[in-house]
């Protein structure tokens, strides 16, 4: 291979490595967002169930 071909291959490898690093970084950010979103939804469901239970207790007490 000539120096020019070798240089272009090296440049290509560097660019690919940079793109892979960026992809991994973005993937990490997205994964952490997904985890936080799932936790939020789970907590929201739990809170809604508790609110429903309390509403039922209040309505039963009000009927007595």
pLDDT of residue 22: 96
Distance CA 22, CA 30 (A): 12
Boundaries of domain holding 32: 1-64
pLDDT of residue 12: 93
Distance CA 31, CA 24 (A): 10
Q: What is the pLDDT along the chain (64 residues), one digit of tens a residue?
A: 576 677 888 999 999 999 999 999 999 999 999 999 999 999 999 999 999 999 999 998 888 7
C-alpha distance from residue 59 to each of 46, 47, 62, 63 (Å): 20, 18, 5, 6
Instruction: State the total domains in the chain.
Output: 1
């Amino acid at each position: 291979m000539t120096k020019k071909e070798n240089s272009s291959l090296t440049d290509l490898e560097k660019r690919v490595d940079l793109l892979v690093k960026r992809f991994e970084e973005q993937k990490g950010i997205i994964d952490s967002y997904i985890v936080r979103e799932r936790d939020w939804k789970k907590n929201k469901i739990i809170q809604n169930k508790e609110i429903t239970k309390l509403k039922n207790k209040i309505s039963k007490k009000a009927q007595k």
